[in-house]
Amino acid sequence: MKKWKTAACIAGGVILAAGAGIFAFVPGLFTYLHVKFRYDNIDRTVPQYERASVPENFTEYTVKGLTLSVPSSYTLNDTGFSFVGSDGKSRLFITRHDMLATAAILSEYGTDDLYETKQFSDAEYRHYFEKVGVPAPSDADARTEELWYAKGTLQPEDCLRLRGTDRKIFADYALTKEESWNMEQTWSLPMNGAAAYVSESTAALTSSIANNTVCIYPDEHRSEKIMVVLREQDPKTAKQIISSMRLEPEQQSTGEGL
């Protein structure tokens, strides 16, 4: 009996030592296993949007540096940056602003934090992005927004060698990835002179109106963001409008804030 107990203790010690050795070299293993088994979207990346052909009877406009085509039944409002369909339900809005200018305005109210979650300090976030080898979100480069990092770049194996706060930040972004994919489907939209993303609310699957958002980040004005919000009853028409969008590289900065 004593020999059996001794052998059991030795075996248990070996297992514990082996486990300690594994976690010394792979400290984020528990987090990896947690996100792999708990989150359905953890392995997802952002696929490319498939453009559709644009009908010849669509009318072309250039608004805030973005050229797009819409059905002839769409009317450009007096504001110069929004359209409404003849049915009164289809609508399209275009905004363009400079993230640096926006940050300067928000800083006056003490809300200029780059990190939406705000659970950790700016220094901790910067340290995390350095560890995972990804550019940290920056108003000077609008396309580095946290959402696109979480939805398209973050992968479960990124956490394997993370420790302490870095591992906690990863877990927070992993949750963001899961929740954001559950709320919206997202694609990258090929566009000369810009990085662009198309998102469609999952609510559109049960609604008669498709809700799309297009975010465009011009190469020549890295701190700027163009956002298009589109509500269209016909998903085919929505896809045609999105497919028509293009950015002329020579377009000048608007210099707008909010």
Domain ranges of the chain: 2-247
pLDDT in tens, the chain (258 residues): 544 444 444 334 433 333 444 455 578 899 999 999 999 999 999 999 999 999 999 999 999 999 999 999 999 998 889 999 988 889 999 999 998 888 777 777 665 555 555 789 989 999 999 999 999 999 999 999 999 999 999 999 999 999 999 999 999 999 999 999 999 999 999 999 999 999 998 765 556 677 999 999 999 999 999 999 999 989 999 999 999 999 876 554 444 544
Closest listed residue to residue 185, CA positions, set 151, 209, 226: 151
Q: Are 199 and 185 in contact (CB under 8 A)?
A: yes
Six-digit token pair at 208?
């008669």
Within its chain, how far is the Cα of 4 from the centroid? Answer: 57
C-alpha span between 2 and 119 (Å, rounded): 52
Q: Are 233 and 204 in contact (CB under 8 A)?
A: no
